[in-house]
Amino acid sequence: MSQAAIQCLKRKRLYEQQVEQLGNFQLRIHDQMIMLEGAKATTETVDALRTGASAMKAMQKATNIDDVDKTMDEINEQTENMKQIQEALSAPIGAAADFDEDELEAELEELEGAELEEQLLQPAITAPAAPVQVPAGRQQVRPAPQKNTAEEDELAALQAEMAM
């Protein structure tokens, strides 16, 4: 081999070493950048936590537990007053105040018992066993349903009201 070729190989190896060194330098710089970014994020996080803690301290100084208890007592008192006012306004007055609830319930039970007894005493209506064929010219006339008496209507309205 020629001396010039050996010199070229030596320079090639020197360049390769230099490239490797530069690659290691770049890697160290990259690692250092990552560590600096992490340190910066940590510092910002700690600063934010300190700011939050200071803000909480300031808020707690502005509001103490005695003030909170006093405010809650006032709210409870006002709520109780409002309940009493609403109860007073919803109490029946005049003729409606004179009704005895137990007496009304007994009367309703009596009416329901009478209606049940009346239903049991009525004859049972059964459907025909087979349909009846009617010639085309004639149509069967159905009787009109019976109308309820005023008392039955009133009882039905009371029952519907009680079901609510």
Work out the angle at residue 80's Cα, subtended by the Cα atoms of residues 76 and 84, and round it to the nearest 5 degrees.
170
- How much of the chain, in percent, has pLDDT values that exceed 70? 80
Tokens 């070729």 sit on residue: 5
47-56, 57-66, 96-105, 112-121: which has the highest mean pLDDT? 47-56
pLDDT at 63: 82
Contact at 8 Å (CB) between 155 and 111? yes
User: Who wins on pLDDT, 120 or 75?
Assistant: 75
pLDDT band at residue 80, thresholds of 50, 70 and 90? Answer: very high
CA atoms within a 13 Å half-sphere pointing along the CA-CB vector of 80: 6
Q: Report the amino acid identity of residue 40.
A: K
The residue among 81 and 162 whose pLDDT is bigger is: 81
Q: Is the pTM of this model over 0.75?
A: no
Could you give the CA distance from residue 162 to residue 108 in angstroms, rounded to a whole number? 10
Token pair 């103490």 is found at 64
